Amino acid sequence: MNPLCDNTAFADPMSLPFAEMVSKSQNIVLTCHVNADGDALGSTLGFRKVLINMGKQATVVTPDLAPTSFAWMKGYKSLICYERQQPEADKIIEAADLIVMMDYNDLGRVKTLGEKISSLSTPRVLIDHHLDPVVNADVMVSRPDASATCQIIYRLLIAAGLSQYVDQEAVTNFYAGIVTDTGGLSYNSSDPNLYILVAEMLKMGVDKTFVHEKIFNNKSVKQIKLQGYSLGRKFHRVEKYPIALISLSKEELDRFNYTTGDTEGFVNIPLQVRDIIVSCLILERPDCVKMSFRSKGEFPVNEYAAKYFSGGGHLNAAGGSFHGSFDDAVALYQKSIADFYVRWMKRTAK
Ligand code: 5GP
Ligand code: MN
The last residue of one of the domains, among 194, 216, 238, is 216
The last residue of one of the domains, among 152, 186, 216, is 216
Across 14-22, average pLDDT: 98
Element holding 156 (H helix, E strand): helix 149-159
Encoded amino acid at 219, one letter: K
CA distance linking residue 11 with residue 16, whole number of Å: 11
Tell me the angle at which helices 38-53 and 168-181 cross, rounded to the nearest 10 degrees: 160
Across 313-329, average pLDDT: 96
Assess contact for 93 and 117: CB atoms under 8 A.
Answer: yes
- Distances in Å between the alpha carbon of 292 and those of 15, 227, 265, 302, 308? 33, 15, 10, 10, 12
CA distance linking residue 187 with residue 282, whole number of Å: 22
The SS3 call for residue 175 is helix
Residues 253, 341 within the same domain: yes
Structural domain count, the chain? 2
Element holding 90 (H helix, E strand): helix 86-95
The answer to whether residue 259 is domain-embedded is yes
| Ligand 1 proximity of 270 Cβ (cutoff 6 Å) | no
Q: Measuring from atom 20 of ligand 1, which residue has the nearest CA?
A: 311
Distance 282 CA to ligand 2 centre (A): 21
Residues 44, 31 within the same domain: yes
Q: What is the CATH number of the domain that holds 151?
A: 3.90.1640.10
241: phi > 0 → left, psi -120 to 50 → alpha, else beta; which? beta
| Ligand 1 proximity of 67 Cβ (cutoff 6 Å) | no
Q: Which DSSP string do the residues of 262-294 spell out, in sequence order?
A: TTTTGGGGGGGSTT--EEEEEEE-SSSEEEEEE
CA distance linking residue 167 with residue 46, whole number of Å: 9
CA distance linking residue 269 with residue 229, whole number of Å: 13
The answer to whether residue 206 is domain-embedded is yes
Across 182-205, average pLDDT: 95
Which band of pLDDT confidence, cut at 50, 70 and 90, is reported for residue 261?
confident
The ligand 1 atom at the shortest distance from the C-alpha of residue 302 is 8
- Cα 1 to chain center, whole Å? 35
CA distance linking residue 217 with residue 347, whole number of Å: 40
Amino acid 1: pLDDT:
41
- pLDDT per residue over 215-255, tens digit each? 999 999 999 999 999 999 999 999 999 999 999 999 999 99
Amino acid 8: pLDDT:
83
- pLDDT per residue over 111-156, tens digit each? 999 999 999 999 999 999 999 999 999 999 999 999 999 999 999 9
The last residue of one of the domains, among 216, 238, 264, is 216
Residues 196, 226 within the same domain: no
Provide the residue range defining the domain that includes 100.
7-216
Residues 142, 289 within the same domain: no
Residues 189, 53 within the same domain: yes
| Ligand 1 proximity of 143 Cβ (cutoff 6 Å) | no
Residues 67, 209 within the same domain: yes
- pLDDT per residue over 34-89, tens digit each? 999 999 999 999 999 999 999 999 999 999 999 999 999 999 999 999 999 999 99
The answer to whether residue 199 is domain-embedded is yes
Across 167-171, average pLDDT: 98
pTM of the model: 0.93
CA distance linking residue 122 with residue 155, whole number of Å: 25
The ligand 1 atom at the shortest distance from the C-alpha of residue 35 is 4
Q: Measuring from atom 14 of ligand 1, which residue has the nearest CA?
A: 319
Amino acid 350: pLDDT:
58
Across 312-335, average pLDDT: 96
The answer to whether residue 92 is domain-embedded is yes
Residues 131, 251 within the same domain: no
Q: What is the CATH number of the domain that holds 335?
A: 3.10.310.30
| Ligand 1 proximity of 312 Cβ (cutoff 6 Å) | yes
Across 309-334, average pLDDT: 96
The answer to whether residue 12 is domain-embedded is yes
Assess contact for 66 and 79: CB atoms under 8 A.
Answer: yes
Residues 37, 62 within the same domain: yes
